């Protein structure tokens, strides 16, 4: 079985220690967590989380079962790419020279990204997209003095 | 009606039918200890170290199937529980641990005796709580007992700040417990049962390995009916011992690293292995790539995460074991398998457990203990060689009568666990089998035993070594003894100091009288057996080796019967040196 990335979403009851307990499970059982996102959801008092997990099918199956055993976890699921929408938001601060600014704006426009704030010396680029497209945008901006990148990790929803 | 958090805790204990709790007071639990004086129906056993409060609660739970409760103050009191809680989670023991914490407004400010016991125990509890709102306390306590004793059982910790013990609320206890996303496994799906039954009917050389899950779900009768109807031999994991009487003709005893040869060999030759409430741990399977090489595996368990965790079954039945085995029993018909059972008999006669004659060995004593108690006492063991020998030689007749730290392997467990069992079932004879190493970890509880006249009998096998570690150093480290020779105090003087009845036995001919004298004394007794120093446990599967590389006891003469038993090439102890 080959190792690849799985997108797991979980609905959890929000109590003191819940996030600690979830992340502790990944550490303790050696599951490889590539990214992790948590936020409020349609149920008050509950959160929905998205985990990106590296592993073969057996590992991911065991990971799902162990997550399900946690009392806080209401349900969890391994989302298939073809039956889900998966997005990540990134904020990228670029500090190009004045000669490079036009090129940066050109890249932003090409990737249909946004620039919510600019100053005389910096451009903050905002992008919401699938991870592959995001990685391409970052690669394209790298020559123009990228000074900080902040990413949310993937969030995913079943279709 | 408004009442304090301390009163709510006591109410919860009474509601849950808890008659005994094990604890140790301290600053932040003072309000609870004060309230306790008003509740004579709940006996509090004052231990001498909180670890033993957890082990006693564990022993209480294992001997009854009910939730054991331990109690400690914040900080070091709480952290001292940790080993006992970890012991309980590994073996699926229902336990509620109540800890006090500093006042809720002081949490996070490194107050005196503050520790994050919720954070510390996340990986070793089924669930845990920090209760900062008094209104939630009745619900949390009811939920804690429910979670601890349903589904796959386990310890639940409730951490209560001092000000929550003194705050008041009129919040009632819930009449029913339901938690979204938590379902107690019931009967398994019908198709899983049918597939398992199909495989059972088609098998020529089936065996079953019955584990602690059978005891947890109370499926002993169902297991026995299933075995007797299908004539499938019953092997046990360490903690499954007692799920079928050891003198039953289909009982083969424990298998695995130090299991009896017959069970281990039968699994290697079987065409079908039914794992019933076991988790296929490494001490049982050996190297999984060589485990049961000719068999299809069918796994019965209530915990879906156990399916496929270490071995790959072809089929599984996920549900409560009592319901699962009942459903199977409705579909099976009487079978007979004379050839397979004859083969097993051959192994039994070729590779018996042996006690070399004329030597004062741990095995000699444990065989005598079995004869003395007739397998009807509750026996708690510590961890090490004596634990394996007890598993081999103690032929328990009843369930819930063998207590041992199987998963965590906690030295120091045996004596306090035996005390917990005795508090729970005072009419039963209770023995703690311990070594000189483990006993020295928790022997301060002798004082507790004396104060409560906790009538446990301690069978101390003193070989002057950490025997199992010494055995591994002999076999795998060229017999270089590194820190395994262990001095002991004069146990007679120690017993005198505590006021405990003491017998020292160093002659074979005195063993039976010593045991008899211990049983007849009304009160705790320490029996020290000064046994041979260098005795090894066999059979043995080396760590990481396949169960096929089973090493027989070098004292076992390869007899004509062994050659006739065939099918297996067993190795000599020397083979372990590699």
Q: Rounded distance, CA B156 to CA A146, Å?
A: 49
* A-to-B residue pairs, Cβ atoms closer than 8 angstroms: 46
Set of chain A residues whose Cβ sits within 8 Å of the Cβ of B305: 62, 65-66, 68-69
Q: Say if A74 is an interface residue toward chain B (CB within 8 Å).
A: yes
Model confidence over B56-89: pLDDT tens digits? 999 999 999 999 999 999 999 999 999 999 999 9
3-state SS class at B419 = helix
Calculate helix-pair angle for B321-331, B220-230, nearest 10 degrees: 30
Q: Per the CB < 8 Å rule, is A20 touching B152?
A: no
B576 against A140, higher pLDDT = A140
Report the complex ipTM: 0.91
**Closest Cα in chain B, distance from residue A105 (Å):** 47
Alpha helices (H) in chain A, listed in sequence order: 18-29, 57-69, 101-110, 131-141
pLDDT band at B567 (very low <50, low <70, confident <90, very high): very low
Nearest-Cα distance to chain A for B22, in Å, is 26
Sorted by where each starts, the structural domains of chain B and their CATH numbers stand as 3-169 (3.40.50.970), 190-350 (3.40.50.1220), 362-530 (3.40.50.970)
At A88 the three-state DSSP class reads strand
Residue B405 and residue B383 in contact, taking contact as beta carbons nearer than 8 Å: yes
pLDDT at B577: 37
Chain B: residues touching A (Cβ < 8 Å): 118-119, 122-123, 126-130, 132, 147, 152, 179-182, 303-305, 307-309
Compare CB distances from B305 to A24, A58, A65 and report the shortest one's residue. A65
Provide, as residue numbers in chain B, all residues whose Cβ is less than 8 Å from the Cβ of A73: 181
Q: Which residues of B are the active-site residues?
A: 50, 112-113, 162, 468
A14 inside 8 A of chain B by CB: no
- Per CB-CB distance under 8 Å, the chain B contacts of A55 are none
Q: What is the pLDDT of residues B4-55, one digit of tens each?
A: 999 999 999 999 999 999 999 999 999 999 999 999 999 999 999 999 999 9
**How near does any CA of chain B get to the CA of A62, in Å?**
6
The reply to whether A61 touches chain B by the CB within 8 Å rule is yes
Residues 6+ apart with CB under 8 A from B333: B201, B229
Q: Would you call B126 and A75 a contact, using CB atoms and an 8 Å cutoff?
A: no
pLDDT (0 to 100) of residue B556: 87
The reply to whether residue A20 touches residue B122, judged by beta carbons under 8 angstroms, is: yes
Residue ranges matching CATH 3.30.70.260 in chain A? 4-79
CATH number of the domain located at residue range(s) A85-158 in this protein: 3.30.70.1150
The pLDDT, as a whole number, for residue B1 is 85
Number of H helices, E strands in chain A: 4, 9
Q: What is the mean pLDDT of each run of 10 residues along chain A (159 residues)?
A: 85 92 94 93 95 93 96 96 96 98 98 97 97 97 98 96
Alpha carbons within 13 angstroms on the beta-carbon side of residue B111 total 15
Superfamily of domain A4-79: ACT domain (3.30.70.260)
If you measure CA to CA, which chain A residue comes closest to B148? A71
Closest to B13 measured CA to CA, from B22, B26, B25: B22
Evaluate whether B554 touches B531 at the Cβ level (below 8 Å): no
Taking residues B292-314, what's their average pLDDT? 97
Instruction: State which residue of chain A sits closest to B304, comparing Cα positions.
Output: A65
- Looking only at the bridges linking them, the beta strands covering B20-23 and B43-46 are parallel
Cβ-nearest to B309 among A24, A62, A70: A62
**3 state DSSP class of A85:** strand
CATH 3.30.70.1150 segments of chain A: 85-158
Contact status, residue B5 vs residue B164, Cβ threshold 8 Å: yes
Going by C-alpha positions, the residue among B275, B266, B119 that lies closest to residue B211 is B275
Alpha carbon separation from A43 to A13, A66, A77, B493 (Å, rounded): 9, 23, 17, 66
Say if A1 is an interface residue toward chain B (CB within 8 Å): no
Q: Specify whether the CB–CB gap between B467 and B384 falls below 8 A.
A: yes
pLDDT for B557 equals 75
> Could you say which of B123, B181, B309 has the minimum Cβ distance to residue A73?
B181
Q: Do B305 and A69 touch (CB under 8 A)?
A: yes
Length of chain B: 578
In sequence order, what are the residues at sequence separation of 6 or more whose Cβ sits closer than 8 angstroms to the Cβ of residue B558? none
Give the residue from A12, A25, A69 with the most B CB atoms within 10 Å of its CB, the best one to mutate.
A69
Contacts of B545 (CB under 8 A, 6+ apart): B286, B287, B290
- pLDDT tens, residue by residue, B325-334: 999 999 999 9
Q: How confident is the model at residue B303, as a pLDDT?
A: 96
Query: How many angstroms separate the CA atoms of B128 and A71, rounded?
Result: 9
B305 closest CB neighbour out of A58, A62, A73: A62
Residue A122, chain B, CB below 8 Å: the answer is no
């Amino acid at each position: 079985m080959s190792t690849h990335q799985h997108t797991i979403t979980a609905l959890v009851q929000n109590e003191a220690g819940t996030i600690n307990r979830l992340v502790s499970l990944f550490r303790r059982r050696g599951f490889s967590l590539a990214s992790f996102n948590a936020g409020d959801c349609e149920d008050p008092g509950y959160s929905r989380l998205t985990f990106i997990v590296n592993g073969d099918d057996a590992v991911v199956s065991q990971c799902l079962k162990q997550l399900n055993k946690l009392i806080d976890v209401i349900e969890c699921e391994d989302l298939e790419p073809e039956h889900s929408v998966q997005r990540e938001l990134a904020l990228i601060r670029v500090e190009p020279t004045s000669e490079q600014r036009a090129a940066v704006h050109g890249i932003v426009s090409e990737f249909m990204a946004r620039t919510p704030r600019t100053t005389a010396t910096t451009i903050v680029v905002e992008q919401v997209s699938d991870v592959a497209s995001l990685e391409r945008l970052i690669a394209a901006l790298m020559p123009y003095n990228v000074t900080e990148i902040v990413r949310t990790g993937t969030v995913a929803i079943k279709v | 009606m408004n009442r304090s958090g301390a009163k709510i805790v006591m109410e919860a204990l009474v509601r849950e039918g808890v008659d005994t709790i094990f604890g140790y007071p301290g600053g932040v639990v003072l309000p609870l200890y004060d309230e306790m004086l008003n509740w004579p129906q709940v006996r509090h056993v004052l231990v001498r170290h909180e670890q033993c409060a957890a082990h006693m609660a564990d022993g209480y739970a294992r001997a009854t199937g009910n939730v054991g409760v331990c109690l400690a103050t914040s900080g070091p009191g709480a952290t001292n529980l940790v080993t006992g809680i970890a012991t309980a989670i590994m073996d699926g023991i229902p336990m509620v641990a109540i800890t006090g914490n500093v006042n809720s407004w002081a949490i996070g400010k490194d107050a005196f005796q503050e520790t994050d016991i919720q954070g510390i125990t996340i990986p070793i509890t089924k669930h845990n709580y920090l209760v900062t709102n008094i209104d939630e306390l009745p619900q949390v306590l009811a939920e804690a007992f429910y979670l601890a004793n349903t589904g796959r059982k386990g310890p639940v910790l409730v951490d209560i700040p001092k000000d929550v013990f003194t705050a008041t609320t009129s919040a009632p206890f819930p009449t029913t417990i339901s938690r979204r996303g938590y379902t107690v496994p019931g009967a398994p799906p019908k198709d899983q049962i049918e597939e398992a039954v199909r495989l059972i009917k088609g098998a020529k050389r089936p065996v079953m390995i019955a584990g602690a899950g059978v005891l947890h779900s109370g499926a002993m009768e169902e297991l026995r009916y299933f075995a007797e109807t299908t004539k499938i031999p019953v092997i046990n994991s360490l903690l499954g011992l007692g799920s079928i009487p050891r003198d039953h003709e289909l009982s083969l005893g424990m298998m695995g690293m130090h299991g009896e040869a017959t069970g281990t060999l039968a699994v290697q030759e079987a065409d079908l292995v039914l794992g019933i409430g076991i988790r296929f741990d490494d001490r049982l399977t050996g190297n999984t790539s060589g485990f049961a090489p000719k068999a299809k595996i069918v796994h019965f368990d209530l915990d879906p995460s156990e399916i496929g965790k270490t071995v790959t079954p072809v089929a599984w039945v996920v549900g409560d074991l009592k319901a699962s085995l009942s459903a199977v029993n409705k579909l099976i018909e009487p079978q007979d398998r004379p050839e397979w059972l004859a083969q097993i008999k051959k192994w039994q006669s070729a590779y018996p457990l042996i006690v070399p004659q004329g030597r004062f060995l741990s095995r000699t004593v444990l065989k005598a203990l079995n004869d003395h108690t007739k397998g009807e006492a509750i026996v708690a063991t510590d961890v090490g060689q004596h634990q394996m020998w007890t598993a081999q030689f103690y032929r328990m007749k009843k369930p819930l009568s063998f207590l041992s730290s199987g998963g965590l392997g906690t030295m120091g467990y045996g004596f306090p666990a035996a005390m917990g069992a005795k508090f729970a079932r005072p009419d039963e004879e209770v023995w703690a089998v311990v070594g000189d190493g483990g006993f020295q970890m928790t022997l301060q509880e002798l004082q507790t035993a004396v104060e409560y006249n906790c009538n446990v009998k301690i069978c101390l096998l003193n070989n002057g070594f950490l025997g199992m570690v010494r055995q591994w150093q002999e076999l795998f480290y060229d017999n270089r003894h590194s820190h395994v020779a262990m001095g002991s105090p004069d146990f007679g003087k120690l017993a005198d100091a505590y006021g405990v009845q003491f017998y020292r036995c160093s002659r074979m001919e005195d063993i039976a009288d010593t045991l008899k004298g211990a049983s007849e004394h009304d009160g705790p007794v320490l029996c020290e057996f000064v046994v041979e120093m260098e005795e090894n446990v066999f059979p043995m599967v080396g760590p990481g080796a396949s169960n096929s590389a089973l090493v027989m006891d070098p004292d076992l003469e390869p007899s004509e019967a062994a050659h006739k038993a065939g099918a297996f090439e067993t190795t000599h102890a020397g083979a372990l040196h590699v």
